[in-house]
Amino acid sequence: MKKNLILAIILIAMTVAVFIATTQLNAASSSNPELNEAITSSTRPEALQKLLKQTDKKYRDELAYLIAHMPAADRDTMSLALLAENVRLAHLVREQYPWAQALPEEVYLTDVLPYYVVDEVRDAWREELYTLFAPAVDTCSTLEEAIRAVNSHIPALTGVHYNTLREKTNQSPRESMRQGMASCTGLSILLVDAYRSVGIPARFVGTASWHDNRGNHSWTEVWLDGQWRVTEYYFPSQLDHLWFMADAAQANPADRRYAIYATRFGKATDWFPMVWCGEDSTAIEDLPRHIGAENVTQHYIDLAREQQKTRIEAGTHTHLRIVGYAKRGATTQSADRVAMGVDIFHGTEQMGGGLTAGPHRDMNDYFSLLLPKNATYELRYYDTAGKLKTEAVTLGEEPMTVAIYQE
């Protein structure tokens, strides 16, 4: 009799505990209309409610934030175990590192916690990347030190390098590491996730096309000292000083094809134009719109112009002008000129890139780049046979014009 009474009391206590937990969960859901709408509009509301109910209370608000703001397709089909694992690991990293602890809540929720960057395959990258990069940042005491530690180690730790022979554009971290290669989009996804794996806020940035129509480009921003700073997979000598800043200065904030966007998880004012989702003939407005973003073009224009002004006033830089011709000996007529893609390197660091002026441009119109004086640069371009050609150029104190030839 006594044993039955004890069992009855235990059963009642468990029932009450479940009732209280369910009541609290329902109350939280009802007080969060975005979460409630997200769950009720999903094809599996019961499973989402169950996941929230079973999640440790200290992770529950973060999980609720993801559910409320994740793309509908993910909410309906993504592995819930993977979603729960992402929240748990992100929370543990936030508790571990001082820079993550100091983050404003909104920055953590939008730029550390998310489990994806754009439309890549949703894979379990967080633990794998944490294992790779934690040793590199464990000795760091500041966020900036941690940023540099990740960026300077990522090619060696992941074994991934730039290569257009990769399987696809929007590769997930595991896809890129399996192949050992990725293009700028895959490299940027990998870098964003590597940062986030150790509590560093990061986001994906890019343009659907540069001003001269030579294609899209993707890169990364990190949050430091209350502002977003520009970086890339192959670490530049300084934050905010990347090879494409001259191109960024010519971006157009009013034209989606030539504007610059930064992804944003949660409430967003715009959407990211994922040009890899369409064919060359796909209109920009017909691209998928489920990845939120903000138009940051003007920031890049202002940043690039300020850098140029500072360099000119300091007298540390001068212009290298490059003109492309079809063949040697024919350089006097506009028809002799060709639009050639050329990249400029100083050692292993890319300093710039672009297209030389074609036959329909003014004869005084050159592709021009402002570079540090008294240094040797390497021009890289392809001839008509598709062979990579290189040319060393030593830039002195004065502006210099260099001709390159397609044949």
If one counts every other C-beta atom within 10 angstroms of the C-beta of residue 394, the result is 9
pLDDT at 68 exceeding the cut of 70:
yes
pLDDT attached to residue 6: 56
Backbone region of residue 329 per phi and psi (left: phi > 0; alpha: psi in -120 to 50; beta: other values) = left
Least confident interval from 30-44, 113-127, 184-198, 352-366: 352-366
Phi, psi of 69 (to 5 degrees): -120, -5
Q: Are 242 and 236 in contact (CB under 8 A)?
A: yes
Average pLDDT of the residues in 196-222: 95
Question: Please, which pLDDT band fits residue 279 given cuts at 50, 70 and 90?
Answer: confident
Angle at 334 between CA 328 and CA 337, to 5 degrees: 45
148: which residues sit within 8 A by CB, 6+ positions away? Answer: 235
What's the predicted TM-score (pTM) here?
0.85
pLDDT attached to residue 2: 55
Rounded to an integer, what distance in angstroms lies between the CA atom of residue 105 and that of residue 97? Answer: 15
Partners of 228 in beta bridges? 223
395: which residues sit within 8 A by CB, 6+ positions away? Answer: 318, 320, 371, 372, 373, 374, 375, 376, 377
If one counts every other C-beta atom within 10 angstroms of the C-beta of residue 42, the result is 18
Rounded to an integer, what distance in angstroms lies between the CA atom of residue 187 and that of residue 192? Answer: 9
Rounded to an integer, what distance in angstroms lies between the CA atom of residue 383 and that of residue 12? Answer: 81
Question: Please, which pLDDT band fits residue 4 given cuts at 50, 70 and 90?
Answer: low
User: What is the set of domains in the chain, with CATH numbers?
Assistant: 118-305 (3.10.620), 316-405 (2.60.40.10)
pLDDT at 377 exceeding the cut of 70:
yes
CA dihedral 110, 112, 114, 115 (to 10 degrees): 170
If one counts every other C-beta atom within 10 angstroms of the C-beta of residue 26, the result is 13
Phi, psi of 82 (to 5 degrees): -65, -40
Average pLDDT of the residues in 205-227: 94
Average pLDDT of the residues in 312-324: 93
Least confident interval from 64-78, 181-195, 199-213, 347-361: 347-361
| Angle of the 80-96 helix axis to the 45-54 helix axis, nearest 10 | 30
pLDDT attached to residue 9: 54
pLDDT at 3 exceeding the cut of 70:
no
